[in-house]
Structure 1
Amino acid sequence: MAMVTPNGTTLLKAVKPFKTGWKVENQNTLEFILVDVTGDKIHCTYKRIFTPRAKKHMQIGQWCFTENFGLTPATGKYKATSHKYKLSIISSSLVTSSSLKIDDSFLSLTPYESIINGSLDSNFLIGKCIFSD
């Protein structure tokens, strides 16, 4: 497969750091993590064309209901969460406000020692921090 397409764009796998003047053609998506009241997290993505539908209710720190979404296996190296699926906002998705108010950020920090000693699963970008008394 050619590294440059007929319209003069370069494929993403062909870009290199020796120059900054690349022209690539790509699809805009938003990638983020959703969390439920138990602290379980799932990687979520939606295409820019669905932004008006989700923008009003999907904001950092805001609780919302998400209905009618797609799920695909979360595969590959460097998954964003340990959930076995990735959630996708699709054309039939409905996002509405929730009155739930929980201020917990559900942030999971990985202990420094686990990073240094290499005991983490290298397939995940986010590790869970387990505190013990």
Structure 2
Amino acid sequence: MSKLTTFVPLTKLRPFKDNWRIQVKCLHSWKQNTPFVGDTFEMVLADQWGNKIHATSKRSLMQRIQRVLPIDSWGVIEHVTVTPAGGQYRTTNYKYKMVIAEDAVLSRSDLVDDRVFISLANYEEIENGTKKQAFLIDVIGRIYDLGDVQTVQVSGEDRKRVLFRLVDAEGNNLACCLWGTYAEQLEPFSLNGKDQTIICLIRFAKIKEFRGIFWICHDVGSNFL
């Protein structure tokens, strides 16, 4: 049995140590392939204080991690390391990224906490360009001006795309673009239900600027309510 009896907040993690014991909830996970690292398993984790961190592991550890820590569940992880977070878009604003290696110890947690840890971005900050574009954001609103789901060529491959605008409670609106399976989620409404009221929550979205307009584009997750 581990001698570690308390949980460390994610904001206390630092490099050059691995004797951390953390209790976290998996908010999202996905597989990734990059030229430099190869196949990896990526996650966004949160602790009970609401702190979030990006976590990564080798693809070979994915099934082991998912058995203990599937999406929306809590688990305990011991012996992890952190490294400086980088990249053009970061899933959280924390300066470190967690690395789960073969020697990490994972176990289930009995914590019951149904919070989803959404951090909604402000429309006006996005429109004015004051919201940082380096981090992924959560955004929610009513879909307006929903276009047709189209198939377009991207790097020689056919991909589905849909364009629309999101409107908040104050009437501010943002241009949005969803691709692939996320666009397919809107296809039934695009074909038959454009007059319906559709509330859209896009999690981990990118802010992109194109021809002077700031766009919301999906990254690793979206939900339609």
Structure 1 residue 121: Cα displacement? 1.5
Q: Which residue, 83, 104, 109 being the options, matches 1:72?
A: 83
Q: Do 1:63 and 1:98's aligned partners in 2 also have CA atoms closer than 8 Å? A: yes
Q: Which residue, 91, 101, 104 being the options, matches 1:90?
A: 101
Which runs of 5 or more structure 2 residues have no equivalent in the other structure? Answer: 1-33, 140-225
Aligned residue number for residue 122 of structure 1: 133
Q: Which residue, 41, 58, 70 being the options, matches 1:30?
A: 41
Q: Distance in 2 between matches of 1:49 and 1:70?
A: 18
Q: Do 1:81 and 1:124's aligned partners in 2 also have CA atoms closer than 8 Å? A: yes
For 1:45-56, what aligned pairs fall within 5 Å after superposition?
A: 45-56=56-67
Aligned residues: 106
Q: Which amino acid aligns with 1:30?
A: F
Helix, strand or coil at the partner of 1:56: helix
Structure 1 residue 127: Cα displacement? 6.5
RMSD after superposition? 2.2
Q: Which residue, 122, 125, 128 being the options, matches 1:111?
A: 122
Q: Give me the identity figure in percent.
A: 37
Q: Distance in 1 between matches of 2:61 and 2:43?
A: 14
Structure 1 residue 109: Cα displacement? 1.5
Aligned residue number for residue 51 of structure 2: 40
Q: Which amino acid aligns with 2:83?
A: T
Q: Which amino acid aligns with 2:104?
A: S
Q: Distance in 2 between matches of 1:58 and 1:30?
A: 13
Q: Which amino acid aligns with 2:60?
A: I
Which runs of 5 or more structure 1 residues have no equivalent in the other structure? Answer: 1-10, 13-25, 129-133
Q: Which amino acid aligns with 1:79?
A: R
Q: Do 1:53 and 1:94's aligned partners in 2 also have CA atoms closer than 8 Å? A: no
Please, which moves more after superposition, 70-79 or 91-100? 70-79
Q: Which amino acid aligns with 1:110?
A: A
Q: Which residue, 38, 56, 61 being the options, matches 2:72?
A: 61
Alpha-carbon displacement from aligned partner over 1:57-88 (angstroms, at most 9, x marks no partner) = 11111000011112100123311111111001
Q: TM-score, normalised by structure 1?
A: 0.71
Q: Distance in 2 between matches of 1:92 and 1:67?
A: 9
Structure with the higher strand share, 1 or 2? 2
Q: Distance in 2 between matches of 1:107 and 1:117?
A: 22
Q: Which amino acid aligns with 1:120?
A: K
Structure 1 residue 103: Cα displacement? 0.6
